[in-house]
Each structure stands twice: as C-alpha cells, then as structure tokens.
Amino acid sequence: MFSLGVTFADTVIPQDTTYHGLLYGHTNVWFAVPVNADGNLSVTLTPSDGVNMQLMLCTPEKNEIIRGDCWGNPLTLSVNGVKPDSFYIRLWGYYGSSENHGFTLTTEFAVAVLQNDNEPNNIFADANLLPLNNTLTGHIGYDGHWASNPADVIDWWKITTTGDGILTVTITQVEPVNLQLAIYRPNGETHIVYADTWGDTTSLTINNLRDGTYFIRVYRYAWNFTPYTLGNVFTPAPGGNDPEPNDSKENASELINGILSEGHLGYNGFRDNFGLDGVDWWHFTLQDTSNLQLTLTQTASANLRPQLFKEDGVTVVHNGGDTWGGGYVMNVSDVLPGSYYLKVITYGVFDSYSLLLLISSVSGIDDGKTSEVPIRFELAQNFPNPFNPATTITFDLPNEELVILKIYNILGQEVAALVNEVRAAGRYSETFHASDLPSGIYIYMLTAGEFTSSKNMMFIK
C-alpha cells in the first residue's frame, strides 16, 4: 500500500495551496504534495525578482518526472494521471549560495471525473462485480510512479448471467486514449472476444452465451489514462430452456403427450463441463401401439435436425431431416409400445425451439363383428396437425350415447361446438375450420356418456 506520509521533505504543501518562501542559491529545497485521489497535478513557480530558478516534479522516491527553468518568469509544470501518494517538488537557484530570493509555489490538483473502481482489481480473482443490466465507473492508467504504487494498468470486472442469451458490454471513455476491452471465459485465462477502443465508445457482444460468471478486462496501453463508464445489457433467449444437462441419452428430458416443451441449442458456456450445447435428448414411453406426430418449431433460422430412436438410442425409428430454420413435422404410424428417444442437434448455430408430441392410439376394431362396431371409446389425434385452415377429428363409440364435441382455446374459452346430439355406435369424423381464429394451440374435448377425453392441436396460419 502507498502512504501519504512525508518522509523526506521539510515542508508539506497541500494540493490547491499557495506557499511563499525564500530560496538560497545552489541549494536543493524539497517540498511534499500529498495527493488523495486520481487526477492531474500542476505546480506553478513564480520568482519574486526575476532570477532564474529550476522547478522539478518528482516521484515519491524523489526521482525526476519533469523539470524546467523559469528564467525569471512564472513556470508551470504538470504531471497528469497520478494516483494517490506523496509527490515531491525540488527547487534550485542559479545564483550564488549567499543570495536568497523570494518565490511563490502554487499547487493545483484536478480530481479525475467519475467514481473510481474498487482497488485492487488487477487480477481476475479480485474482480469487481458488474451487476447484470447495469453501469459502473472506473479509472485506468493512473500512476503512483514507483514500485510500491505502480500504474493501474488492468481492471478486472465480473458479471453473472442468469440463463442463455445475448450479452453486450460497452465502455465509454473520457479521454481519447487507446484501451483494450475483452470478455474472458469463466477461468479468467482465455478471452472470448476483445477489441481496441482507440478512444471511442466500444461494445463487445456474445450472441450465444450460457449462464455463468464471466470476466471483463479493461487494459491500458503505455502511458494512457482515463476515467471510463462500463455497462452491460443482457437479453434472455426466447422461450424456456430445456432441463440441463440433457446432452446424452442417460440424461434425457421427458416429453409429455400434448404438452409443449421448449429448449435452446447452440449456446456456449465456454468451460470444460459446460461448453457448447450442441445436442438435446428427450424421451417418452408408449403403453399401446400408437401413431405419433412430433412438431418442432424454431424462433430463429438455425439448421437443426430431430431424430427418433428406439430404447437403445441407436436404432433409428425416424431419421428426421435438416430444418434450415423452417421447423419439422415428424409423423410415424403404428409405433409399438416401449421407450423412445428424440435427439435434436444443431449444426453450430444457436436457436430456441419448441416440441409438441401428439400420441394417438391405433383404434381397436372387433374383427369378428361384420358391423365393425368399435369395441371401446376412442378419441383420435386430429389430422393434419398442425393444420391450416381445417383438420379432421375422429372418434369411436362402442354404443349409443349423447355426444358433445367442443373446441376450446388455451385459456379454456369455448370457440366452437362441433357435435351436441345422440349418436349410434360407430366411427365418426368431424371437420373443424379455424380460418377466423388466431394461430395457437387449441384443445378439443369429447364427452360421450361417462367417457371424456381431450387432446391438443396446433393451428398455424
């Protein structure tokens, strides 16, 4: 730590003070100027009767920083960009040692604008916290001019993101000097992105960042100093994220029939155990032989690929296809009971996506009856799904019942009534037209006697 104590000088001249004295010729006279903040120090020497004196500004160790001869006139010397410490003034008279002449010393100190960052923070382990979506200020490059109080060359900051998203960090400088701004990995050792500022407001953006604590380094090139403002903006990725980790079959997340699931791919945590999220695994189980429809929709334009596997995670049921940002609808018929796994991969680009799994049982018909009367109540998945503008809903009645078939929006509000009458046993198909409705998920519900069943469907204009 530096000290504001005076160890060499006979006289202390506080900053922003005028001192009057006498100087004998050929004699060094020392004065101390304690500085208590970052800023610019100026000292003006005014001789009283036109004699030549030398003014020298020195480090806390009395080493020369700058000097000049006054030649009988007022002389001002400045040391800009100093840190808190005690600096020294040396006076020398170019006249005989028996002579003494009056002089005036005036000290002026301009405190650097903006609040300084908490010091020390010159290593990433001591990084200051930069709150998310906030702005703080700091100083860089100010110098104590000796080994125990060296120049403030590096400031480290840290920021913690709360999920996948876009992080932008911006630095704005007071002085037009060249700095380097960099965002570092969580290990504090390797930068992710950096840029030289050349005195301008400079921003760095990482578009596909996973949650975690990242480090920001502000670096001063030689002899530069400036106050600065450092801010950040974090924009969360659209939609909810899938439960992590689910990058292997063993950690697969559950898909539930008729329930929309959301996920992210291509976001990067930039660390060994939390790097690029390039694969998501999902799983579901079939109790009966069923028809499947799985719809993948995307927020952006990344190229994704869904693949459906049997329980071993190797045998392909449906190989899917590249989405190129357009999503994908997978239809698979007569899938046997068992556990199945869905693998969604990205080819490197980040995106948000949603999955909607719709399972419809293959209806059982009693082949021994020539009338082909269904042997149980059954509400099938609508087809096509997603649909625009119409879809067909099929249901089975094993006996005569009062049948009510209604359509509801996601808020539970009724939007259509397709059937409300007594019907004989048999299989029926009803067409639902949604031209006048907004895109979204709708629920259709069948009530037949004591049997009730409902399913989701998706209307996309």
What φ, ψ does residue 252 adopt, rounded to 5°? -60, 140
- On the question of pLDDT at 7 being above 50, the answer is no
Given 360, 394, 416, the domain boundary residue is 360
Given 360, 385, 419, the domain boundary residue is 360
- Quote the percentage of the chain above a pLDDT of 70: 96
Let me know if residue 438 belongs to a domain.
yes
CATH number at residue 216: 2.60.120.380
Grade residue 5 by pLDDT with cuts at 50, 70 and 90: very low
Let me know whether 285 and 187 are in one domain.
Answer: no
Let me know if residue 314 belongs to a domain.
yes
46/102 Cα distance (integer angstroms): 9
Given 46, 81, 111, the domain boundary residue is 111
Kindly report, residue by residue over 28-78, the tens digit of the pLDDT.
999 999 999 999 999 999 999 999 999 999 999 999 999 999 999 999 999
Let me know whether 392 and 425 are in one domain.
Answer: yes
Let me know if residue 4 belongs to a domain.
no
Q: In the predicted model, what is the mean pLDDT of residues 348-356?
A: 94
Kindly report, residue by residue over 113-126, the tens digit of the pLDDT.
999 999 999 999 99
209/87 Cα distance (integer angstroms): 46
Let me know whether 305 and 263 are in one domain.
Answer: yes
Grade residue 255 by pLDDT with cuts at 50, 70 and 90: very high
**Close Cβ partners of 70 (under 8 Å, ≥ 6 residues apart):** 45, 46, 47, 52, 53, 54, 55
Q: In the predicted model, what is the mean pLDDT of residues 132-144?
A: 98
Let me know whether 257 and 346 are in one domain.
Answer: yes
**Residue matched to tokens 């040692």:** 97
Let me know whether 196 and 271 are in one domain.
Answer: no
Please indicate, yes or no, whether the overall pTM of this predicted structure exceeds 0.85.
no
Let me know whether 340 and 380 are in one domain.
Answer: no
Give one DSSP letter per residue of 369-391, joined into a string: -TT--BSS-EEPPPBSSSBSSEE
Q: How many domains does the chain have?
A: 4
Let me know if residue 441 belongs to a domain.
yes
Residue-range definition of the domain harbouring residue 378: 372-459
Q: What is the mean pLDDT of the chain?
A: 93
Let me know whether 263 and 181 are in one domain.
Answer: no
Let me know if residue 243 belongs to a domain.
no
Q: In the predicted model, what is the mean pLDDT of residues 107-136?
A: 98
**pLDDT (0 to 100) of residue 9:** 53
